[in-house]
Every structure is written in structure tokens, then in C-alpha cells.
A and B are shown apart, each in its own frame.
Chain A
Amino acid sequence: MPSRLSSRLGLAVLAAAVALYGALAWHHRDVSRISRRLDRLRKLFNKEAGESPLTALRRAHEMAGAFTASPEIRLGPYLPDLFSRQELVVAVHRARLLLEEIEVTIRDKLITVSDDRQSATTDLAAEGVYLYRGEQSRDITEIRLTWVKENGEWLIRSAVPLETIQPPGKVRRMIQRGLANP
């Protein structure tokens, strides 16, 4: 009898484990979808030397498709503020033509989905390595993305920079002035 009892107990534990796994997978499905979308965006943005203008345009369009029709994109002093998919396509396409190589790596990310599962935020730190006129540069950007679910699809509504280290006002103005008068 003890062997029958232990086998029933084993089955019960197994069933509980499967149920727990299912519940966790269900709970994290939105996080997984957002994570996959982010990874796709990263791959689309990366560029190897010798990319054709047509491919650059196709990739820019595909990237813009991950955003809402009227997104709010403010990525700091180095990029203009953007408020539509079309503006995004133009900006991404221009960046791809300007830079010879782009390699973005998402170092850290924290995805938080709202209780009603209709919106989410992602705080991420991304490292970019760029090749411009044969010279390599590297920077780390901290960004907060806000997502909304439209027709079951997660789209980015806004992208704003986060600054763990806040530069003094003078430094911020110097950066902006430098960009205005390159």
C-alpha cells in the first residue's frame, strides 16, 4: 500500500508542478512577446558594412511598424524628437545611410506589464557601437519604452531617455550647442 500512496503522491506533485509551470508561462507570455519584439528591433537596427539603400529603407519601415501610428520618441540630444512612423522611417533610414556599421546590444532590461495587460514599460540599457568614417565609437543609452496592446499586438507608444547620472545644466547645453553647430 505505501508504494501506491507514494506513486499517487508523486503524480500529485507532478500535476502541481505542471500547473505551476503553465500558470507562470501564461503570466509571462506578454513579457516574452515584448522581449522577442525588442530583440527583433535590435536585429533590424544593426547594420553590417555594404548594406544597400533599399535594404536600409525596408528595415526602417519594418522598425517603424513596431511603433504606434503617433509615437512620442525623444532619445536625447543626438536624435531629433519624432512623432510619427513616417518621421521615424526617415530618421532611421538617414542614420543607416550615415553610419557604416551599427551594432546594438541590450545589456539590461526590465519589463513591467500592467495588471490589465494592455500596457507595459521597459527600462533598458543598450550599448551601441558605431562605425562612422572608419572611426569606431561606443555609447550606452538608458531608455524607457512605453508599450500598448493594439489588436493583440504590442506596439511602442513612447521612447524617452533615462539618466541615472544627471549632467549639470551647463553640460547639457554644451551638448545641444555642439549639435546645433557641428
Chain B
Amino acid sequence: MTGPVLAKTYPAPFVDRKEILRYMGCRGGRADEARKTDSALESMIDECLSELLPQLTYNVSYRQFTIYVDACNCNLSFMQTDSRALAGALAGCERLVVFAATIGLAPDRLISKYGCLSPARALCFQAIGAERIESLCASFNDDISFLLQQEGYFTRPRFSPGYGDFPLAAQKDIFRVLDCERRLGLSLNDSLLMSPSKSVTALIGAAAGEKPDCSRNAQNSCRTCDDRDCPFRR
């Protein structure tokens, strides 16, 4: 099966300030307490948020495929790859959602503007942009998981070109099948990076059946899970 290219525009996802701070490099040090009372930093983040947020759009383009995956080969129907990392991520999956998401060019402009005027702000816009695009991907992920769940599938974590041995060159294939240039205004440069830079392309595999019960594992992460034989272990 090859589905049509579909599009979705999201309202602004909830802003996760902790994530923004994390992307700015504010976590895990002894500075946490001091940081909390640093009003200059907090007000800079507020100012950056109010400058950037109104300029963002949240767009996703996606498409479904039927796929055939074995231990070392993935036939994604629009492309083939022998990436082992991808084969692992898609193990047991019969369906695939390919998506591209973007929050637009505003973060690039502001990062560039403040690059020379205020590197602190440039860093802040960089962090907000990263948090925004991740939140958009999370929203889409929730939607698509819910949708597929109703059809009897559960989804695996998303996987992007450039992860492990899955080549960045797959960006070209994804761009082709999603018509990213036309539908989202994305473009690939000669180094296969996307403009706008706050964009993501990724694959979400879906396998038939019930999602494995991860509830025993409090942190909901494979790394801390005891079930070493789980077929979906990453």
C-alpha cells in the first residue's frame, strides 16, 4: 500500500521551559540553584519567547507505506536500504509513516540576526527552536500512534536519516515521496541539511498487535528495562 501525501497544521504545542533550558546547556551542573534565581536569564528567555512564538507555524506532511523488513534489509517501498540500525528500529513492522515537520524560517532568521548582536540570545533562539520542533514531532507522533492503534497497530520510536548507519542521503528519497519542497517549503542543501533548519524528517514504524507492556519499567526506557529478550529493545 502507498498512501497519498497528507498534511496537517498544528496549534502551538505547550512550551516546555525545562527543555529549553536543557538545550541551552543549563542542566546537570551545580549551577541549578543559582540559575533559578537568575532573573536576567529568565527574562531573556521570556523576551526571546515573545519575539519568536508569534512567528512560528507548525506544519507536518506525511504518508503511509507498506514495508518489508528483515534483519539487514529494509524495503520501504519508496526506497531500499541495508541499514542495520533502521532494520532494528523497524523490526516487526509492516507499516511505515514517513513524515516531515517544520516550524518555519523564523528561528533561522533570529539566530542569524543575534549571531553578532547577542550570542546569548542566538543560543536561546536555537534552544527554543529545538524545543518547538521536538514538541511538534511529539504532537504528530501522539496523533499517528492513536490513529494506528485504532487500526490494530502500535508505533515504534521515530527514526531519522543520519541515525546510526541510516545514511543522510535518504533525505533525498524522503523529500521526493513527500514533495517537501512544494508542500512545506523545505529544501535540502548540498550537505543534505534542511532549510528551515528547525525541521525534522523521520520514519515511524508500526507493528501489528498490542504495544509491549512497558509499565513495569518506571522510566519507560529500553535502557533501564529488564526484559532483555524483548523484540523491540533498542
Q: Do A and B bind each other?
A: no
User: A residues within 8 Å of B by Cβ?
Assistant: none
